[in-house]
Amino acid sequence: MSICPLDFRYGSEEMRRIFGRENIIRKMLEVELALSKALEDIGIAPKGSYDKLLKCIYNVRPEDVDRYEEILGHEIVALLNAVKDACGESANYIHYGATSNDVIDTAWSLLIRDALEIVKRKLIANIKVMIELIQKFKDLVMVGRTHAQHALPITLGFKLANYVYELTRSLERITSAEVRVVRGKMAGAVGTMAGWRGRGLEVENAVMSELGLHPHLITTQVVPRDGFAEMVSILAILASQVERFGIEVRELMRPEILELAEGGVGRIGSSTMPHKTNPVECEKLSGLARVLRGFLIPSFENIPLWHERDLSNSSAERILIPHSFVLIDEVLDTLHEVLLGLKVFPENIGRNLKLSKGVIMAESLMLKLIDRGLSRFEAYKLAMGLASRARSKGIDLFDEILNDGTVLTYLSVNEVRETLNYDNYLGNYKELVDRTIKYAEDVMKSSLH
């Protein structure tokens, strides 16, 4: 009976399969096989050892390992006993000179490598969909908000480009960290390779070549745990970036705003209120991001192990590494669903832009007045007073400027109208959006192996 929602509710089957018990055992067996081949190739193990082992080693089942571990209390010794049962004398040179974490840590690297390919693929897919939305709504003018208050005009494309920038930075982080984290370890009991009597570097090179990995340059009995902490941190950052977008949609989906909305067709919003349409997918993004951020502490705590190693990291990693990847997998799938179904309401965007009756253009007016000879202090005070009075009267800033008359000693009516035009105060948004898209496209291209 499953009690963990990651078994049945969250994450794709392909990601769950990577961290399933059967695949974890298989990756460990792949490492043992690679070591067997290396030992034979360099002349430590007899010829034919690898081929004999290859014919039988994959007959080992997780339940065979579990049965031994229940008795012995040691996973890798249990694995070796299960291999001996399956292979008999063909297993005589298995694990020769190695220690448990040569197998465990290298298997983690193989698993993480496969998981990261899924994460990168899905992250790139989301960035591409978001770029399509940027292109579609690049010039749709809307109000920008700071402190949840109306600030200056922006465009929806510009808003979305900021999210593309953040997500692309995470893709860049993943690609960079992969070089440090996805590395193998074949160095023996305390990392000196003593068990191979001076031929350890040959063994390491042959094993890593077979598995398609680079080795850690030096280790204790285990690889440095800072790499796992870095990877969990990067995934938590990515989840938090996605959550920020989810919060944006949730905020802009409020009925009194309704500029953006989730597009889930046929979803039930409430068990008792038939009219409700809730941003449930975006709220799920927030919930899962919170859990993923919670894995940061144990991943950091795993770094300071005693001497050449202790076992305090092991139980935590069995939970935090698979769960981190399954959670980010669900986050990325949910984001993709939200993006593909995203509803945009241009008429509401236009309505809300005009809601403040032009007072968001007070900065534009201030700068124009400075250009005409007022000090910044004078221009700020005049623009602020006009905006405040317009707001209190419930009239347009333009009308208050005409009523007051002071500005008209510096600007013509037509110049005032142009100064308060939203379209004229968007700065270099097009260039900023274009260079962000180019950056994203360059990173996406370079991140694919």
Task: Show which residues are catalytic.
Answer: 147, 270
Contact indicator for 261, 338 with CB cutoff of 8 Å: no
- Rounded distance between C-alpha atoms, residue 214 and residue 36, angstroms: 18
* Residue 246 one-letter amino acid: G
Compute the distance between CA of residue 109 and CA of residue 321 in angstroms, rounded to an integer. Answer: 11
For residue 260, the cross-strand partners are 344
CB atoms within 10 A of CB 94: 22
d(CA 407, CA 383): 9
- Residue 278 has phi, psi (to 5 degrees) of -105, 150
- The per-type count for the chain, helices as H runs and strands as E runs, is 18, 6
CA distance 141 to 138: 8
Distance, C-alpha 231 to centroid of its chain? 10
H, E, C per residue of 381-393: HHHHHHHHHHHHH
Query: With contact defined as beta carbons under 8 Å apart, do 11 and 327 qualify?
Result: yes
Residues 6+ apart with CB under 8 A from 243: 285, 286, 289
Quick check: helix, strand or coil at residue 405? coil
Alpha-carbon separation of residue 382 from 379, 397, 448 (angstroms)? 5, 12, 55
Q: What's the Rg (C-alpha) of the chain?
A: 30
